[in-house]
Amino acid sequence: MGIQIKKILVPLDGSSNSFRGLDFAIHMARECQATITGLYVAGIAKPRTNDPITPLEKILLDNAQKIMKKAKLKSAQKGILFFDRVTYGDDGKRIVETAEKHNFDLIVIGSRGMGAAKEIFLGSTSNYVLHKSKKPVLIIK
């Protein structure tokens, strides 16, 4: 009994490591005929719907849009269907929740992202996801 991989979740923060994760996910998706969903987590509390957009939120959402556009193009060039998703809150928790809630088969994550404190072996987000996710996690260096 083989593992069926049809939906791959790739957290993206714009770092070269997160795009290395995307490149690997694209390769896997081609082998498995899978789709990829890029996930950008804006590290702020989710704004209430009737609140005006803050300057910080605008910067984060513009950044998310740029990253997703680049990721979608990279995927399309290899014939892979790419979906984008933006969420708010703590990145590790949101990645694990999204993988569970939307029934992803695999999470492909860069070993380190844009976090200010570079941890020695693994970034805090990838470390969190590795230990908390019930879904398989592939960490790309």
Whether 2 maps to a domain, the answer reads: no
- Please give the residue range of the domain that contains residue 97: 7-140
- 86 lies in some domain: yes
| In a domain? residue 50 | yes
Within a 10 A sphere around the Cβ of 54, how many other Cβ atoms?
A: 11
Whether residue 1 is contained in a domain is answered as no
Residue 116 lies in a domain: yes
Our count of domains for the chain comes to 1
- pLDDT reported for residue 38: 98
Name, in order, each residue with C-beta under 8 angstroms of 104's C-beta and a sequence gap of 6 or more.
7, 8, 9, 37, 98, 135
The list of the chain residues with pLDDT below 50 reads: 1, 116-121
Give the percent of the chain with pLDDT over 90: 72
Give per-residue pLDDT as tens, 78-119. Answer: 999 999 999 999 999 999 999 999 999 999 999 876 554 444
- The CATH number given to whatever domain includes residue 130 is 3.40.50.620
